[in-house]
């Protein structure tokens, strides 16, 4: 039995090695063994090794030091592992490499685990696209929690509706210096009322019953860019740390 177990381990190692994405070992130098160990370990744990290999190639193309590449690849493997746990909690038993990468990018953009979880639970077959839209909104200065609620509300309506969301939100932000929270709220309510995102403008700055003043009161979302007359913190398409 012990011999069979050893043979099985050798065979598994041979398969993982054979399936390992190719990278330029000569340019990795002494870090090649460490990088391969990280990639092989990720593959053995069911993580997509091609994403790690892509990161290695990116680093080599940019002239990054091999030791630094190994560190970045290890961090990415850890991030992918955490992303997979998030998808499993949300009920996605076999997440695609693209979905895991989208989650990692969302966190890198400052989107918290709670906002990602909200979208994962509601995204259905469009989870990947929904996470990408959430990330796009966050990078444009929209509050992540409000963005997650709005994305989740329309995620079940198909890819085309998700693709429309960012453009419509930006359009509303250009009207009467609407705050990011106001824009997202109007879009969510237009969707809930069956009006379609194109008709969200008529709900802009209205309360939930069309008479409630909270749309301009202390309960509204006001973080992020607030238009040319408001002194907002970041322009559309920019994060606060960008020039």
For residues 165-177, average pLDDT: 84
Residue at 103 is within a domain = no
Indicate whether 119 and 217 sit together in one domain.
yes
Q: Please report which confidence band the pLDDT of residue 225 belongs to, taking 50, 70 and 90 as the band edges.
A: very low
Burial 90-128 (b: 16+ CB within 10 A, else e): bebeebeeebbbbbbbbbeeebebebbebbbebbeebbb
Q: How far apart are CA 203 and CA 139, in angstroms?
A: 25
Would you state the structure tokens that stand for residue 210, as one six-digit string? 């069309």
Last residue of a domain, one of 89, 104, 126: 89
Identify the pLDDT of residue 74. Answer: 97
User: Which of 74, 89, 104 is the last residue before a domain boundary?
Assistant: 89
The reported pLDDT for the residue numbered 92 is 77
Task: Assess if residue 242 is contained within a domain.
Answer: no
Same domain flag for 220 and 138: yes
Whether 139 is in a domain gets the answer yes
Can you read off the two tokens belonging to residue 130?
Answer: 């929904």
Burial of 10 (0-12, 13-18, 19+ CB in 10 A): exposed
N-terminal to C-terminal alpha carbon distance within the chain = 64
Segment 114-124 mean pLDDT: 89
Say which residue, 117 or 242, is predicted with more confidence: 117
- 207 and 149 in a single domain? The answer is yes
- The dihedral sign for the CA sequence 54, 59, 61, 66: negative
- Same domain? 153 vs 194: yes
Same domain for 118 and 229?
A: yes
What is the domain extent for residue 40?
Answer: 30-89
Same structural domain, 138 and 214:
yes
For residues 71 and 129, membership in a common domain is answered with no
In a domain, 48, yes or no: yes
The answer as to whether 207 is a domain residue is yes
Residue 135 has pLDDT above 80, yes or no: yes
> How far is it between the farthest Cα atoms of the chain?
77
Work out how many domains the chain is built from and give that number. 2
Q: Tell me the pLDDT tens digit for each residue of 202-217.
A: 667 555 444 443 434 3
- Are residues 212 and 167 part of one domain? yes
Does residue 61 sit in the same domain as residue 158?
no
Q: What's the pLDDT tens digit per position in 89-99?
A: 988 778 999 99
Does one domain contain both 84 and 179?
Answer: no
Q: Are residues 150 and 210 in the same domain?
A: yes
What's the pLDDT band for 192 if we cut at 50, 70, 90? confident
Inside any domain, residue 83: yes
Phi, psi of 237 (to 5 degrees): 85, 0
Judge if 138 and 82 occupy the same domain.
no
Residue 8 in any domain: the answer is no
**Structural domain includes residue 14:** no
């Amino acid at each position: 039995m012990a011999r069979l177990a050893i043979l099985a381990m050798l065979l598994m190692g041979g398969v993982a090695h054979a399936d390992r994405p190719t990278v330029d070992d000569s340019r990795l130098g002494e870090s090649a063994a460490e990088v391969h160990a990280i990639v092989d370990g990720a593959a053995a744990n069911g993580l997509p090794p091609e994403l790690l290999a892509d990161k290695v190639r990116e680093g080599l193309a940019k002239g990054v030091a091999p030791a630094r590449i190994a560190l970045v690849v290890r961090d990415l493997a850890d991030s992918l592992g955490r992303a997979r746990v998030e998808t499993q909690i949300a009920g996605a038993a076999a997440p695609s490499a693209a979905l895991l990468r989208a989650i990692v990018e969302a966190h890198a953009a400052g989107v918290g685990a709670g906002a990602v979880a909200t979208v994962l639970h509601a995204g259905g077959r469009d989870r990947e696209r929904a996470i990408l839209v959430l990330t796009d909104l966050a990078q444009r200065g929209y509050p992540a929690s409000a963005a997650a609620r709005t994305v989740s509300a329309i995620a079940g309506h198909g890819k085309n509706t998700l693709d429309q969301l960012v453009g419509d939100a930006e359009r509303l932000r250009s009207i009467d210096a609407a705050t990011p929270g106001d824009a997202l709220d109007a879009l969510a309510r237009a969707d809930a009322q069956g009006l379609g995102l194109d008709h969200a403008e008529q709900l802009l700055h209205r309360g939930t019953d069309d008479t409630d003043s909270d749309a301009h009161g202390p309960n509204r979302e006001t973080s992020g860019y607030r238009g040319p007359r408001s002194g907002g913190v970041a322009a559309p398409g920019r994060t606060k740390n960008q020039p």
